Structure 1
Amino acid sequence: MSRTYRIGIIGCGGIANGKHMPSLKKLQNVELVAFCDIIEDKATEASEKYGAADSRVYTDYTELLKDDTIDIIHVLTPNDSHADIAIAALESGKHVMCEKPMAKTAADAARMVEAAKRTGKKLTIGYNNRFRPDSLHLKKLCEEGALGEVYYAKAHAIRRRAVPTWGVFLDEEKQGGGPLIDIGTHALDLTLWMMDNYKPKVVLGTSYHKLSQTENAANAWGPWDPAKFTVEDSAMGMIVMENGASIVLESSWALNSLEVDEAKCTLCGTEAGADMKGGLRINGEKNSRLYTTEVDLSAGGVAFYSGSTEDAPDVEMRAWIKAIDEDTDPVVTPEQAYVVSQILEAIYESSRTGKAVYL
């Protein structure tokens, strides 16, 4: 790395403390110098735990953005504020990592893409599941053509009973949706990336409010309040791409299913298939016999940090800073993330109207 980068954090809640700040703190060439949250105590606590000696605390992000010594901003706020904050940060001359999903609406995501192009600053979205060892290995196989043409895929984001009951997760106005936009977005991003296909043609979707009104429900984080559960409890989509490939997307926070998978995909190609169920498995036919191979991912490195045993967020942050330092495209480009937002919005629209949505 050629220099040390100064980073500002906007939004010091769960994802900041659980992912961004711990991973950034491990990097020797970054300093966390500014922390902003509408709850000042959260920003102060983050500054004391992760901040550099000269770090400052804010409750107004516009004041933070006036600091010209800051190089990079991480936007870690509720979905409805992603676009405005990210665009303001780009216009202030800073590179931006924004947590997933890119924005509450596709229109806002498009504004973010335009701002990045106009300002010449880098913008990426926090799809950290691309950086898992199984994801990186499968992506390499796809790039090498081991699966051939991938023409059918499934994006999995199914929880049996794991509804997030804190923050604004259940607030449709703040978030734009429930499990589809929260965890379905990870599975869809992963699937499109593996297929290297970002040209959707038509989307058909359904969303459900079947279990959200359950009183005293069994749940990983305790019962939810039905009165506050204004988003869907599950949503499904069918996406047909311009080249004829199709993707089934399944997402839920609460579903009567024992088949539970999150941020995983199944790929079916002309030469072989792959899935992430119970580990990475490759299947196909050779010498007139079917085969299944389970890939051992217990050893070896990843594409961005040879020999690494780091968690995906650590690899993600290292790759992000490296892209800035070397002036290359980030692994997750804003154009790719925009397509994810388009498809998610189309699933919601299709569910509301009962009609297919053409993109």
Structure 2
Amino acid sequence: MEKNRKLRVGIIGCGGIGTNKHMPSLAKIEEVEMTAFCDLDLEKADKAARDFGTANAGVYTDYREMLEKEGLEVVHVCTPNSSHAPISIAAMEAGCHVMCEKPMAKTTAEAKSMVEAAERTGRKLTIGYQNRFRTDSMFLQQACRRGDLGEVYFAKAHAIRRRAVPTWGVFLDAEAQGGGPLIDIGTHALDLTLWCMDNYAPARVTGSVYRKLGDQKDTGNAWGDWDPAEYTVEDSAFAFITMQDGATIVLESSWALNTLETGEAKTTLCGTKAGADMKEGLRINGADFGKLYVKKPNLDAAGVDFYEGDEEKPADVEARSWIDCILNDTEPVVKPEEALKVTEILEAVYLSAATGKTIEFN
């Protein structure tokens, strides 16, 4: 890349996830300039351009027009799940590298088409699983790679809220999103678990999906009561996942569950040498010299090989890593093939619940 030249980045989708995560993080990167903004709501695109764009940033309601006119090199897709695939594919075919918000797509078929487009066009594609970039996540993943836990044969992926149903946008719309908490927050927990295990080979999935609280009112919800008529997704989903090597993953996800055992984007791992969980910060447990131990790594200390100075937000680390992989022509941390496996498993959970059958993978 030429010295002092900036990557021309376009944003498609100027709602909450774009304006609260993607744009603020990109704005901190010297090698980036946001030169185009697109949203079906022109006022949102115009405001994003004023807040984060260059002086002459383009504003659009049609992403195809934006891709045709703006000469972009990078596109961030921050739209509802149902449009992730068509927009990402169009951007790659227009010559852009693509960061797409999670989940990768609404369906496995769409996610596969995104992987195929990346291979066909030679463009980079990554998915917005920013929880990989937390200090505890990176520490645990490195410990797993070094073999500290041994063979991880049992895990839990946690994404449980007591009452925090998102009531804005299209979160409650099954057609636009493809599902509720499973595809929204369960996807983060599952991605984190598979990444730490380095295991992307599912054998079978048995799932249960519930809409038990969707008709209730006066719920104490963090964002106010939802409209039952608009609540067309599940409020909880659970799965028992068996991997090809025999490892087991229990996936739990809910926006609204009568429980005090809450926590999301967390994993519990059990291996032959040691175990780990994130319930009270990162904890490693095992046995040495005939005695049981629990260790809590000091993630605020200097000297950790991936961590220096004040803690950065995971979204900022994610954005910096993504731009660096483009500038240096390296692989992104979140590979599209890995995100595809997450989508395949989530789809299998929904299918299993709908059919009452265990879903077998080839």
Q: TM-score range by the shorter chain?
A: over 0.9
- 8 Å Cα contact 2:160-2:255 kept in structure 1: yes
- 8 Å Cα contact 1:124-1:334 kept in structure 2: yes
Shift of 1:215: 1.9
- 8 Å Cα contact 2:82-2:178 kept in structure 1: yes
Structure 1 match to 2:90: 88
Change (3 A) 1:58 1:252: same
Within a 5 Å distance, the mapping from 1:156-175 to structure 2 comes to: 156-175=158-177
Residue-pair matches, total: 359
Structure 1 match to 2:331: 329
Change (3 A) 1:236 1:21: same
Within a 5 Å distance, the mapping from 1:2-21 to structure 2 comes to: 3-21=5-23
Within a 5 Å distance, the mapping from 1:137-148 to structure 2 comes to: 137-148=139-150
For structure 1, which runs of at least 5 residues remain unmatched after alignment?
A: none
Q: Distance in 2 between matches of 1:289 and 1:4?
A: 56
Tell me the secondary structure at the aligned position of residue 66 of structure 1.
helix
Structure 1 match to 2:240: 238
Shift of 1:217: 1.8
In the superposition, the TM-score normalised over structure 2's length comes to: 0.97
Q: Distance in 2 between matches of 1:55 and 1:242?
A: 49
Q: Distance in 1 between matches of 2:360 and 2:305?
A: 36
Q: Distance in 2 between matches of 1:301 and 1:200?
A: 37
For structure 2, which runs of at least 5 residues remain unmatched after alignment?
A: none
Runs of 4+ off more than 3 Å: 300-308
Q: Distance in 2 between matches of 1:331 and 1:300?
A: 23
Structure 1 match to 2:212: 210
- 8 Å Cα contact 2:13-2:38 kept in structure 1: yes
Change (3 A) 1:303 1:41: farther
Are 1:132 and 2:114 an aligned pair? no
AA at the equivalent of 1:264 = K
AA at the equivalent of 1:247 = I
Q: Distance in 2 between matches of 1:250 and 1:315?
A: 27
Within a 5 Å distance, the mapping from 1:295-306 to structure 2 comes to: 295-300=297-302, 306=308
Q: Distance in 2 between matches of 1:306 and 1:61?
A: 39
Q: Distance in 2 between matches of 1:81 and 1:246?
A: 32
Shift of 1:53: 1.6
- 8 Å Cα contact 1:162-1:221 kept in structure 2: yes
Structure 2 match to 1:283: 285
AA at the equivalent of 2:263 = D
AA at the equivalent of 2:60 = Y
Shift of 1:306: 4.3
- 8 Å Cα contact 1:300-1:308 kept in structure 2: no
In the superposition, the TM-score normalised over structure 1's length comes to: 0.98
Structure 2 match to 1:74: 76
Tell me the secondary structure at the aligned position of residue 8 of structure 1.
strand
CA offsets, 1:248-296, max 9 Å, x none?
Answer: 0000000001000100000000110000011000000100110001121
Shift of 1:309: 1.7
Shift of 1:240: 0.4
- 8 Å Cα contact 2:157-2:250 kept in structure 1: yes
Structure 2 match to 1:353: 355
Structure 2 match to 1:123: 125
Shift of 1:308: 5.2
Q: Distance in 2 between matches of 1:291 and 1:154?
A: 21
AA at the equivalent of 1:271 = K
Q: In structure 2, which of residues 293, 296, 299 is the aligned counterpart of residue 294 of structure 1?
A: 296
AA at the equivalent of 1:261 = G
Q: Distance in 2 between matches of 1:337 and 1:100?
A: 9
Structure 2 match to 1:177: 179
Q: Distance in 2 between matches of 1:308 and 1:264?
A: 23
Q: Distance in 2 between matches of 1:191 and 1:333?
A: 15
Q: Distance in 1 between matches of 2:217 and 2:132?
A: 36
Question: What RMSD, in angstroms, separates the aligned Cα atoms of the two structures?
Answer: 1.2
- 8 Å Cα contact 1:142-1:148 kept in structure 2: yes
- 8 Å Cα contact 1:186-1:263 kept in structure 2: yes
Tell me the secondary structure at the aligned position of residue 147 of structure 1.
coil
Shift of 1:303: 6.1
AA at the equivalent of 1:329 = E
AA at the equivalent of 1:207 = V
Change (3 A) 1:87 1:224: same
Change (3 A) 1:305 1:67: farther
AA at the equivalent of 2:6 = T
Tell me the secondary structure at the aligned position of residue 227 of structure 1.
coil
Tell me the secondary structure at the aligned position of residue 69 of structure 2.
coil
The 10-residue stretch of structure 1 (307-316 or 331-340) with the greater mean CA deviation from structure 2? 307-316
Within a 5 Å distance, the mapping from 1:299-314 to structure 2 comes to: 299-300=301-302, 306-307=308-309, 309-314=311-316
Change (3 A) 1:152 1:93: same
Q: Between the two proteins, what is the percent identity of the paired residues? A: 63
Structure 2 match to 1:113: 115
Shift of 1:299: 2.7
Q: Distance in 2 between matches of 1:31 and 1:306?
A: 26
